[in-house]
Structure 1
């Protein structure tokens, strides 16, 4: 087990790699006075420092021919934030905002959490 001092140093080193900020939006279920259930977007976090990591993964078919190329996108962010699966993430890097969807439960570590994302769209 690492000491608290070591964890703080590791976290500071990881956070120096953060080059983006993100906003986390989730949908909550709202029931109106008539009993009708609707969903409303609620901003959970705004301007949180983060890092987006992208890599390509190829899948070969039975003939060893690459038939599919998929992009794997991961969000690295502070571990104390509670980001539910299915949340919308709007990450801004160099004044370009890109929207993602949190596709799964975060992998939490002592100094950061990693969340797999799905690409939704981009705008400037």
Structure 2
């Protein structure tokens, strides 16, 4: 049974992340087109991005862009570097590590505003 090597997983993830980025592009076009209906409609549609589920989708987009970009560099290295195919497996793991290392601080920046209730001081009543 074929268990798949790093090249297959790299190819599959590259295609999936590319499709995810394309889907976001379509959503972004719809979002920007809301400007044509006036500033009130646009401002109301942008408030959607404050929901935590949309922030998770934005986080998935960031992860997809990071992986797709780093893997694109890996693909260019394989294509243009004479020894690239020899080191493609090592470069795959480097791509995954770089994606995770850059993703973690970005995840913090994107998700912390969604959990604003964690940083708010508890409500106190006067006279207690």
The answer to whether the superposition gives a TM-score over 0.5 is no
- Per the shorter chain, which TM-score range? under 0.3
Normalising by structure 1, report the TM-score. Answer: 0.27
Instruction: Tell which structure's C-alpha radius of gyration is larger.
Output: 2
